[in-house]
Structure 1
């Protein structure tokens, strides 16, 4: 690789990071700005001689980008909340995907001349699953209630497994692979069998690997080694399942949810390093993915030469509308139907808020998995270029139309997590107080041998720190302000201590510049100050 090629290779991540920084600085939606930037650069770059073309490689997306992004989202998800909301998650990740694939497939088959039913169903499966990256990025940025976030994230974690399985069966049928001499019923039975095998195989492989990795992490306490191994886990999980034609997506998600649930058993160093590592890796992969989506437009338009633009635009508008309407049609009865049919659900679950139902019904942004599946269609696939364009318009349409209107809808409906935040702070304060009580009791046990008489200052410092942490949690409920509007003791402590830490850093840097201490000493001492300041941010 020469210097010119290397520089062209760096253009994509460098540009994506720049756009993401500007979007975060201005408070704009990072995914939307990246997609728009990709569209603009793609259209302009296609007319500039020598401008590199960044064609989406489906294997790179499915093998390099998708596993770590799914695994990271699964690590941060809550097994207990997913279990609590398993019914809506399953109805969306399985039922809605199948329903959308059927609706889009039947519409496309009836609307597009010469498009076989199997190929139309493949198109439906391609555009059916909302994107995990978009769902997590938008939902958390907008501060949605925890229940909505859990349902949307749970849906996006598991729906790819459903969609990709249906896609493989339909795509194989569309090109005549493995269906020769089979009737409609036999094809349906074969498809159902493949679906059950892929889902069951992915689940079993994920559970086995989760157990093995859990035992391995129990034997290793080195945070650096543990987190290095964790970087390999999503790829091992995905490839292990795909090697036996099971669902690699489901395998990755199962392992991530299991290990995330057990993360509290790891040592603090592993957790601190893991959080930082996955946060940076997620951000980097996400911005590359979103800008790649926008860059695909010139390549897709090249395959449509000779087709009637108005007719193609009508197809795209119809498919986009079908995807959006199918979700709304499915969500409303999906929420209210079980309550009408089962008294146990009516009596055991609170009445759903229509505002929450509306938010879930509108949150259907598609992403790079749909594009990767479309690009992976074989060359002999019927109307491949048209299917690719229809997929692109659905992805762009949902990201722009739904993504840009999503914040307005949430504000209009008044959907916030303010009550949850207050309840979280209240429960945190109670937990901190209980933990501090246990810590003080343990301190009393350890100092019964008379150490308090010879090292009273150490014991007093430990006692004050435990009491201050407990009181700080209660003070946060008032926003760091006392009843008379005065600054609380904990808020005062944090403000003064941060100023002291900054003064310490200034002196240390000056001593390094004066060559009185080495850079290694500066880094080691600064790291200790950073850990203390990170603790202050949570006190």
Structure 2
């Protein structure tokens, strides 16, 4: 009950801070981090632990599904070099630098120091994209950052898993290391197979609550089975989500898709809230059971780890940026990134839920566990606050030229779809066909100007005004007792769908903060 009560308090604090986030253009994970620390600092906050394996499944699986669903495999092939530089080399360099500091400064065992390095190495692009979406930035930069968040998690967790095995096993056998080596390809195969099975079953549950529950069973079930088979659960989730994103939308009804997106957004956000709360509670417990003589050296080391994590990424990204500008052939058909893009990517190193969840997943009795947890929390809080609060001013200072390629592609696609609809009418000259043809041509004329057909036009304005009048009349009929509540709710839902159809997407979408 204590966890649930504190969870409600944290959600309330998060709601308030998220309004501040929106007004100050601060990434919402920064506010979640502050909320977690504030609630954990309350005198009555309980000491709550979580099962290590549950932490990874509960927090990482849905976050990866949500992120991987929006990243196409062809984008990974197109941007393979920058993704490799960020998701592999940057992670390895950061892990090595932090591990060296752990061994040299505080005397951590090598395996434990590597585990710490792997924990703090992968940035969480969700924290960056929460901010980047508010600015007109180069589309390529945002795409690379999104892809990085997927693949750096896999690399970091693979190193982390190997380090934990080495630190907790009396003898590390060749079979264990071989199992770790095949974990990634095996996870990819399992994810694809899981997606194929889901795509065969899901149509039979379309339009039902069982269909929504199946999504959760498939997501968390894939993670658990991958863990049982000692495969990479991260790559299983990435492969599962990418396969579903490739083949699923064409088989899913709009009604199911709207419900699914809304549910997953709430679940991922709520789990992020819980992760920050649990990490704050863990840090509070560590601080309370240590005296100041022990605590200050630990906090000093955590600060050093924070500086290393920020500096290594920034230095490597700028080195890579200059390298590909000096030898542009390395990028093939891609245009080398500008120095401003390199600075932005290098500064988008905010750590997030993966670092928190993996830290919580460390087994009890792990060498230097308290120090590693404190350092992980310091890196998450430090990067979210320092980099998160300065990212907006940095983007303004860099003064990027607006990238209109996305809007141009949307306009081109919209026109192609309207042409397909006009072609379907063919030579049909009925009154209904003539009316629809006029509507399509009007929409096409609006789309040619780069505008959404539902954002302008007297008909759409009149339609929305009419819907508002219908809502007022419906509410009055309910209040007077002229209709029962079941009729009211049925008609309200009907008006909701009509209003969605008469409004451009950006007027009705849910904001992240």
- Residues 251-308 of structure 1, C-alpha deviations (whole Å, 9 max, x = no match): 0111111111224312322222222222232333333334444444312313443644
Contact kept? 1:425, 1:473, Cα under 8 Å: no
Partner in structure 2 of residue 425 of structure 1? 407
**Is residue 2:368 matched to residue 1:383?**
yes
Contact kept? 2:356, 2:377, Cα under 8 Å: yes
1:391/1:152 CA distance change after superposition, 3 Å: same
Structure 2: runs of 5 or more not aligned: 506-513
Residues 106-505 of structure 1 mapped to structure 2, 5 A cutoff:
106-112=100-106, 114-142=107-135, 144-179=137-172, 191=177, 193-217=178-202, 221-222=206-207, 224-265=209-250, 266-305=252-291, 307-337=293-323, 343=329, 345=330, 348-415=333-400, 418-420=402-404, 423-445=405-427, 447=428, 452=430, 456=431, 458-477=432-451, 490-505=456-471
Partner in structure 1 of residue 83 of structure 2? 89
Structure 1: runs of 5 or more not aligned: 481-487
- Residues 68-124 of structure 1, C-alpha deviations (whole Å, 9 max, x = no match): 121011112233323321222233222222221111111221111x32222211211
Question: 1:124 and 1:235 mapped to 2: Cα distance?
Answer: 27
Contact kept? 2:10, 2:35, Cα under 8 Å: no
1:115/1:219 CA distance change after superposition, 3 Å: same
Offset of residue 494 of structure 1: 2.8
Partner in structure 2 of residue 64 of structure 1? 58
RMSD over aligned CA atoms reads 3.0
TM-score (norm 1): 0.84
Contact kept? 2:199, 2:248, Cα under 8 Å: no
Contact kept? 1:339, 1:346, Cα under 8 Å: no
1:385/1:295 CA distance change after superposition, 3 Å: closer
Contact kept? 1:108, 1:115, Cα under 8 Å: yes
Question: 1:132 and 1:242 mapped to 2: Cα distance?
Answer: 24
Moved more, 79-88 or 220-229: 220-229
Moved more, 257-266 or 425-434: 425-434
Offset of residue 241 of structure 1: 0.9
Offset of residue 474 of structure 1: 2.8
Contact kept? 1:432, 1:469, Cα under 8 Å: no
Partner in structure 2 of residue 52 of structure 1? 46
Question: 1:306 and 1:490 mapped to 2: Cα distance?
Answer: 64
TM-score (norm 2): 0.88
1:419/1:303 CA distance change after superposition, 3 Å: same
Moved more, 404-413 or 468-477: 468-477
